[in-house]
Structure 1
Amino acid sequence: MVSLLVSTLYFWISPLSYASSELIARTSPTIWDVLIDIAGGIAGVIGSRKKEANNIVPGVAIATALMLPICTAGYGLANGNVRFLFGALYLFLINCVFIMLTNIVGTRILMRKSPLSSFKELNIKMKIGLISLIVLLVLPASYSAVTLTIDQARKEGIKQFVGKEFANHTVINQVYKSRNNELVLTVVGDPISEEELETIRQKQASYGIQSVQLKVNQVHNSTKLDSETTKEFYENIDKYIDQKLSKKDSQNDLVKENEADKD
């Protein structure tokens, strides 16, 4: 509780309010987190059996169970973000439960006792409660892992699809609408006929995105667009130019740093 309050206070007074990738990663626990907890619990058991002093046990607790999810939960509290708060607390609960269970099982094995003997000693209500807790923690994490894998595969497929099939055009805007499973592209270049678009759509299957609906807005028809669409088009042009200039500046800075290192 103290750690959560300190984390909340830090993010409340901090001038930085945006969520970093590290924070976002702690809001959607997956089955991989369960496997990490089991590995951490095993490391804790091994460390506790050594006679000399070591930092394995506190390291396991701090690295996998405490600091990261608590900091994320504090960010959620400070910014009123319920998704961050409950997602991080869910991860914290997963870490605590599976590290604890791994430690219990590992300790029983090292003591040459059957881990099942401790489970058999529990009454029926505690057995049902423990099994239910494990299932309730694992099922959402497994679903999250499957969803994450599908999303990453789709993103990679879209990236390769756009890069290869629209190589002769400049894509100034690319938006994937998950609700409609629709990919909307705004492209500049030679006109693309409906027959060519249909041929391109047929190639989506080879990239694993056959279920994605493709919509292409072509700039050569911009004279027929309404004022709102025209405004959006010019905003996309400005963003595209800014991205290219920013990328060029970064490359120039890198070249200058390398030249300075050589000198």
Structure 2
Amino acid sequence: MVATSGSGAFVRREDAGGVCTLTLNRPDKLNAIDPALFDTLAEHLRELQQDTSDLGVIVLRGAGRSFCAGVDLGGVGGVDLAGLRHQSRTLEVFGQLPQIVIAAVHGHCFTGGLELALAADWIVAAESARFGDTHGKYGLVPAWGMTQRLPRRIGAARALELMATSRRLDGREAERIGLANCCVADDQLDATVAALAAEILANARHSNAASKRLLRESDGMRLSDGLAHEQFRSPGSQPRNWLSPWRSSARG
């Protein structure tokens, strides 16, 4: 397993009470993504993909003053097309994990950092959060899902506006337009994420994972196709004990 603690880990992993917390750990660089950080994150995600434990929630956050300032343009070096495809597939793995994924965002969340956050199921923003897509400032074209995930979250017209202007949003504005699920005071961020994780963990992991998969797989389908997909691609229920009396009663 990748190191779970220590200041030297590029991404720290800590598991407790059914929650896995992944912390981007380059605080001196505002957690800007360089190859070492990305490779460490990818290794964590591969392990989580194979995880059969009771982990039901994954929280992604950043150490220090920011969530993630984007790609470290000074340290990333040349990335060929194959490398970009590998990185894009890694974010697909992130988005397809069976666990519910929460991005806890404070401070900078720009470009590649925003693409990381968009791969999560929920974004919980602190008031200090600043979101933006700056690909256009540097003549870059998104390759980690910005043109696909951002419009699915906030609509195509508003997504293009943010991409074409590189405009920055604070946490409250991100909440207002639906980019963030909620925005809270910075000193309430940890408690809010913990409470949300507890609500999720109170439900069956089987149900949450199935609902997440079915929603993802049917995205963009016609209603009739989506309904058929839900019925025929369902993994089936795993009723908890409290359902047994109801089922007996229902049968008369």
- TM-score (structure 1 length as normaliser): 0.23
Which has the larger share of helix? Answer: 1
**Larger of the two Rg values belongs to structure:** 1
- TM-score (structure 2 length as normaliser): 0.23
